[in-house]
Structure 1
Amino acid sequence: MTFHSPAKINLWLRILGKRPDGFHEVQTRLCRLALGDTVEIEMRGAGTDVSLSCSDPTVPLDESNLAMKALRAFEKCTGKQSSWRIHLEKKIPAGAGLGGGSSNAATVLKGANELAGRPLSLEKLIELGGQIGSDVPCFILDQPAADGAGRGEQVTPVDFPWQLPLVLIKPPFPIPTPWAYKRWAESKELPGVLYAPQICPWGAMSNDLERPVYEKYVLLPTLKTWLLEQPEVHAALMSGSGSTMFAITETHAQAAEIAAKAREFCGETAWVQATQTGA
């Protein structure tokens, strides 16, 4: 079977403080995008061998891959092993704050469950997903948008009638999520950069992780300021822990215009993609 594995953006991400377990308590809204990977899953029958391949040669294919972790979690929970083939056709860049690995994990959980005759309920899949990664349950829900609480894994679907045109811009470097959270408490705002919530019909857009990330990766606050200066841009924000910045426009034509401008502004090493919310 072949599945669409969508990317996501965080329309807002608020950190409430550090938890006793070492994670941080957050409030966030995750919104799925039309942009996504393609995941092929084949259940070959008897056996225990697993073949994992990927179109991106930089993606690890060992047990550290979240798709592999999802399959192992499924096998452990059901008590059944089979021979599997999984192929990831990647369009979502890694280390981008777009949830590519988490989306792949959720897709493998749902796909394996479908091929095995649905032994696990949706609630059990969400529980398993939360054990793999904080963003995984959002993708299992299969809804346009969801609010995340706890460390992000406690998800609630929300009504989201908007299909927002937007542009994604990822510079040629990833940002490790644990590093960003670790730096949050001691970080400070840079002068002249907008951190305040941007009031939109779909909510107040802000990201508390911009503060620690912008201190080190100074291209990102420069890019945000430049985006907000463009007349076509309604709002601009970093997604998750970065390094992707996104800009919401009024129309798809404007998103295409901003994408062209961003390629010129950022240079050839940046990844730029126009897309929209909804998957």
Structure 2
Amino acid sequence: MSSPVLQLSCPAKINLHLRVLGKREDGFHALDTRLCPLDLSDTLSFSEASATPRISQLTCSDASLPTDETNLVMKALRAFEKATGTPQSWNLHLEKRIPHGAGLGGGSSNAAMTLRGLNLLSGHPLSQETLVTLGSQLGSDVPFFLYDAVCDATGRGEVLTPLDFPWQLPVVLIKPPFGIPTPWAYKQWSTSTQLHGVLYAPQLCPWGPMVNDLERPVFEKWSLLPALKMWLLDQVETRAALMSGSGSTVFAVAQSETDAAALATKAAAHCGETTWVKVVRAGHP
């Protein structure tokens, strides 16, 4: 493969709050959520396709991820081709660091940076507004990653308002060795109930209330996750704890960066070696 002509960072996100307001006529759910980028990211590289015929293809450092037309990167590339009327011929490579099925937006971020990269390499034929529209057709979280800011989102997640967010939050991410399908979580939301002894109420913080309505359906089915949230809330280092998006990642905002490091060590010992634990910062990139 030829050397990359462009490399883009694809950041992860957490939801500092996520309220489900009901089902819309289009089948999606109406949301009120705050999305916050992390300093954890994948890397997307663009190299010129040299093979004949000159067609775009995707490779990935994570062999468990499909690299065919079902991958959001390839879907984004096809959407860009359709919008511009120009065939693209790139070798795309994803170096994955964000776990998938985690509620951290890795696939959506990859798609957003595919659109941004192709637009840059093509001489900016599409406006930011058009890129956001294309992104919203690929997935509800995709437009957020085109803003490079903490954002409040409404609609089905695609109506975004960038925020002045002065905090850099020390965060510990904990992802068990399973993922959760986002459509399943939303489908179960309306009929789910709260578990006894689990905190679902908003946790009041200087940066806003932390609450996630999708904890209700997910916690009913995956009992490890409410136990993990309550364990985190019992730790002296924890300021607040929440599931991100539709899970399976549960995260804690620590009192300080030192506390985050200590909490991560405790969490790794508590959860065992099959669980992914990572210390990150949340806030403006």
TM > 0.5: yes
- Give the C-alpha shift of residue 273 in structure 1: 0.3
1:54 to 2:37 alignment: no
Match of 2:91 among 85, 91, 98: 85
- Structure 1 SS opposite 2:104: coil
CA distance in 2, matches of 1:185, 1:16: 10
- Give the C-alpha shift of residue 253 in structure 1: 1.2
Match of 1:110 among 94, 112, 116: 116
- Structure 2 residue aligned with 1:258: 263
CA distance in 2, matches of 1:99, 1:61: 17
Match of 2:194 among 171, 189, 198: 189
TM normalised by structure 1 equals 0.98
- Give the C-alpha shift of residue 250 in structure 1: 2.0
- Structure 1 residue aligned with 2:20: 15
Larger CA deviation: 45-54 vs 133-142: 45-54
Contact 1:43-1:82 within 8 A present in 2 as well: no
- Give the C-alpha shift of residue 82 in structure 1: 2.5
1:163-202 counterparts in 2 under 5 A?
A: 163-202=168-207
TM normalised by structure 2 equals 0.96
- Give the C-alpha shift of residue 43 in structure 1: 4.2
Contact 1:44-1:82 within 8 A present in 2 as well: no
Deviations along 1:16-47, one digit per CA (max 9) or x if unpaired, are 00111111000000000000101101344996
Structure 2, unpaired ranges of 5+: 1-5
Counterpart AA for 1:32: P
CA distance in 2, matches of 1:83, 1:63: 15
Deviations along 1:69-107, one digit per CA (max 9) or x if unpaired, are 111101100000131111000000000000000000000
Match of 1:119 among 115, 125, 132: 125
Deviations along 1:46-71, one digit per CA (max 9) or x if unpaired, are 96501200000011111110011111
Number of residue pairs matched by the alignment: 278
Contact 1:233-1:248 within 8 A present in 2 as well: yes
> How much is the aligned-residue C-alpha RMSD, in angstroms?
1.1
- Which aligned runs of 4 or more in structure 1 are off by greater than 6 angstroms? none
- Structure 2 residue aligned with 1:229: 234
1:153 to 2:158 alignment: yes
- Structure 1 residue aligned with 2:145: 139
- Structure 2 residue aligned with 1:99: 105
Contact 1:47-1:81 within 8 A present in 2 as well: no
- Structure 1 SS opposite 2:239: strand
- Structure 1 SS opposite 2:145: helix
Deviations along 1:105-129, one digit per CA (max 9) or x if unpaired, are 0000000100111111111100000
- Structure 2 residue aligned with 1:75: 81
Contact 1:38-1:88 within 8 A present in 2 as well: yes
Larger CA deviation: 29-38 vs 250-259: 250-259
Deviations along 1:148-167, one digit per CA (max 9) or x if unpaired, are 11111111111111100000
Contact 2:181-2:246 within 8 A present in 1 as well: yes
Contact 2:49-2:55 within 8 A present in 1 as well: no
Structure 1, unpaired ranges of 5+: none
